[in-house]
């Protein structure tokens, strides 16, 4: 599972050969969540509210790159790192 970004103690990753709908995984300390790319809603898991806000803010800025990584990982196994939230 490649890490595609990390910032403020949050790690964002995607699995190879992942199931639909398109989503990414966010990890923060002991918390884990799957976030849907299209709606930026939590599919599964939980993050503290402040961390979820940061993840959502970051994902909104990088939706296109997230979808490109989703498609590329499924087709070729390649991905790009995405800039962190600054």
pLDDT at site 4? 96
The neighbouring-strand residues paired with 13 are: 3, 25
Instruction: Work out the average pLDDT over 19-23.
Output: 93
pTM, to two decimals: 0.93
pLDDT at site 1? 74
What is the 3-class SS of 11-80, one letter each residue? EEECCCCCCCCCEEEEEECCEEEEEECCCCCEEEEECCHHHHHHHHHHHHHCHHHHHHHHHHHHHCCCCC
pLDDT, one tens digit per residue, over 28-76 is 999 999 999 999 999 999 999 999 999 999 999 999 999 999 999 989 9
What size, in residues, is the chain?
Answer: 86
């Amino acid at each position: 599972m490649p890490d595609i970004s990390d910032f403020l103690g949050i790690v964002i990753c995607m699995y190879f050969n992942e199931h639909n709908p398109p989503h990414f995984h966010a990890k923060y300390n002991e918390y884990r969540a799957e976030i849907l790319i299209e709606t930026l809603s939590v599919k599964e898991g939980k993050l503290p509210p402040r961390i979820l806000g940061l993840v959502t803010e970051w994902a909104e800025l990088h939706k296109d790159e997230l979808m490109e990584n989703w498609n590329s990982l499924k087709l070729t196994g390649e991905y790009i790192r995405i800039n962190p939230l600054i």
